[in-house]
Amino acid sequence: METIRETGKGMGRMSDTEKITINLGPVDLGRIDVLVDQGLYSNRTDLIRTAIRNQLDRHEKVIQDHAVKWSFTMGIHVITRSELFELQEEGKKISVRVIGSLKIEDDIDPELARATIESIFVRGSFRAPTAVRHALDDRINSRRLL
């Protein structure tokens, strides 16, 4: 049985942004610079963020349908020690699916994580203590792990 839990408790400090690197050809980069020079965007990053948001908005239905079909949490999902203790007491495990950001709190030990987390699937960013990440390595399926 799969249980998906979303919690705001113990969220701590998480970055509002993640850094990515892209390669652009000189012509595209020059075109971006012209738009920045003309005052349409404050800088290159502003244009790129706007372009990405426009594409995400354009395909919002696909993203929403995917989230509903696979029971994903969208946004920030934080797994706390108290949540995992509760699951352990109930003899349950969770499978976590997130579009956005998943954080496993720093006070969670690897044994508790292995005893209560059946699988993790993330589209976005994933943060966890190194020892916990190694303990769950065979249960993690992420496109990108930070």
pLDDT tens string 57-84: 999 888 877 655 556 788 999 999 999 9
Q: How many domains does the chain have?
A: 1
Which has more pLDDT, 7 or 17?
Answer: 17
In a domain, 11, yes or no: no
Could you tell me the residue range of the domain that residue 132 belongs to?
71-142
The letter for the amino acid at 44 is R
Residues of the chain with pLDDT > 70, as a percent, come to 82
Token pair of 46, please? 């502003």
Report if pTM > 0.85. Answer: no
Nearest residue to 106 (alpha-carbon basis) of 87, 141, 130, 125: 130
In a domain, 40, yes or no: no
Residues of the chain with pLDDT > 90, as a percent, come to 66
In a domain, 116, yes or no: yes
* pLDDT of 8: 41
In a domain, 91, yes or no: yes
CA-based torsion, 70, 74, 79, 83: positive or negative: negative
In a domain, 55, yes or no: no
Locus of tokens 């969670």: 108
In a domain, 3, yes or no: no
Beta bridge partner(s), residue 76: 101
In a domain, 66, yes or no: no
Question: In this structure, are residues 83 and 14 in contact, taking their beta carbons and an 8 Å threshold?
Answer: no
Q: Is residue 135's pLDDT more than 60?
A: yes
